[in-house]
Amino acid sequence: MNPGQAGRRFGTLDAQWREEPDSKSLGETRIEADAECPSPEIRELLEQVSEVADLEVDEDDEMDEDGEGLAEEESTGSAYATSTYPRLHLAYDHEYHNENAQDSATIDSSRSLYAEDIDFVVEHGRQYCGDYFMPVDQTEQTRQYVIHQVYLKLFDLELTTVPLEDPRYILDIGTGIGEWAIGMAEKYPRCEVFGTDIAPIQPTHQVPFNIEFHIENAEEEWIRPANTVDLVHIRNLEGAFSDWRFIYNQAFACIRPGGWIEVVDWEDWLADKNFLSLYPEGSAMGFLVKAVLEAAEIAGKPRGSHHLDRNLLIEAGFVDIKETVYDLGIGTRENSSYGRFWLFSCVTGIEPSCMRLLTRHLGWDEEVVRDLCDQAARETKMMAEDPNRVEAFVVKLRVVVGRKPLMAGQWTAKTLNEDGEIKEYSGDESTIGDRTILSDEAK
């Protein structure tokens, strides 16, 4: 179906929502801006839309170093700017695990490499870096911050599912806003933590002294010493790479014997079963998903959960593979703790995850994409709030971990107990515990 047909087919799909705006409208959510926002930039984003969304902004707004209000930022043009941001109570304080830290424990800048000519480009009002399909602007950074808070609530403030004993070197691939890496640096102050990304969007001041952010492309050879890393962490990077075997091989080479890889990503966000099965036949969401999958194939970086196949880790040499599936409830009906934040993250992520793929690789018109994304967002919000819905409205999150053998060719990774004797790894030492919900495939 071409973009013109798409526009005609779905042009009146949500007519009843447009004619009578009510409490379900995406732009009419009445919320308070929280005083605990993570940065002045994010605080400013909430202030920008306070008049439109009727937000209640606290009196003690963030100021710059001269005591002046923060400058107004240019509009991103997103259909889901921050008018739907929920009030966010921080699930994790940056100094939570580092109680003994002193003033000297942070530095003004953590980035070891500055690139004068980063490949930034603005398309359809959003800022991108390189050929990555998702934007990297402040609006998306704020959404990623909310997603990080959802993870922390889901995992009871734990940052990883693998058992780490006095780690010395942690590597976060595609670190994004750097929140996970910063948390790990504070939890393990004697550990060197490195976060890599193609976009320098991480904080550069008041971060733990033991963290560095590097501008690196994970699809090129990793410049890491062999057999040194305790944990390679990869989260939310489906659709980012063309060859996941290369990624896993590079990770295996730099991980020390007995060290870990942890891959966290959506299991069925783009699948017909589970999530999409609850949408009505002919929905805008279902149509968008099929189009996005086609566009990603053309781009050479397929979307979906194929990279979570345990066999890929086995091929790379990892052992003790463990898979765990979590249900992330969309909306307060499924989970009162983080459901509203997760609903916001899903709804506001539809347009940025579709726009560049569909306009660049399928030649769709920008307004057609915006209209379909708007309809899909309304469908999602109404689904989450429907009191008559019976089935659980969830997105499944899969966590796959593997360990590098202590000796080459060893099929089962082992560790030493307190007496120096070799013991088998049982797989039960996760720092998160047993709050998991396993799918049939993972049992």
Going from the C-alpha of 42 to that of each of 33, 144, 350, the distances in angstroms are 10, 11, 20
Cα 380 from Cα 389, distance rounded (Å): 12
Indicate the burial class of 90 (C-beta count within 10 angstroms; 0-12, 13-18, 19 or more): middle
The closest of 272, 278, 269, 271 to 393, measured between CA atoms, is: 278
- Average pLDDT estimate for 121-127: 95
Identify the band that residue 1 occupies on the pLDDT scale cut at 50, 70 and 90: low
Q: What percent of the chain has pLDDT over 70?
A: 64
Tell me the pLDDT tens digit for each residue of 355-407.
Answer: 999 999 999 999 999 999 999 999 999 999 988 888 888 899 999 999 999 87
Using 50, 70 and 90 to split pLDDT, how confident is the model at 6? Answer: low
CA angle 285, 290, 291 (to 5 degrees): 95
5 falls in which pLDDT band (50, 70, 90)?
A: low
**Gap between the Cα atoms of 151 and 431, Å rounded:** 14
- Pick among 3.40.50.1820, 3.10.105.10, 3.30.1330.10, 3.40.50.150: CATH of 3-424: 3.40.50.150
Instruction: Report in angstroms the alpha-carbon separations of 167 from 24, 101, 193.
Output: 47, 18, 10
Structure tokens at 403: 């360990």
- Give how far the C-alpha of residue 259 lies from the chain's centroid of Cα atoms, to the nearest Å: 23
d(CA 105, CA 71): 30
Phi-psi region of 25 (alpha: psi -120 to 50; beta: other; left: phi over 0): beta
Q: What is the pTM of this model?
A: 0.74
Rounded CA-CA distance 238/64 in Å is 37
Beta pairing partners, 121: 128
Mean pLDDT of the chain: 75
Distances in whole angstroms, Cα of residue 319 to Cα of each of 163, 201, 402 = 15, 34, 6
pLDDT in tens, 322-351: 999 999 999 998 888 899 999 999 999 999
Torsion of CA 290, 293, 294, 297, to 10 degrees: -170
Strand partners, 266: 397
Contact of 230 with 287, CB cutoff 8 Å: no
Q: How far apart are CA 166 and CA 164, in angstroms?
A: 6
Q: Where are the domains of the chain?
A: 3-424
pLDDT digits (tens, 9 = 90+) for 386-396: 888 888 888 99
Residue 6 to residues 29, 75, 369, 374: CA-CA distances in angstroms? 29, 27, 9, 13
Model confidence at 250, in pLDDT bands (50, 70, 90)?
A: very high
Range 226-255 average pLDDT: 97
Instruction: Report the alpha-carbon distance of residue 72 to residue 74 in Å, rounded.
Output: 7
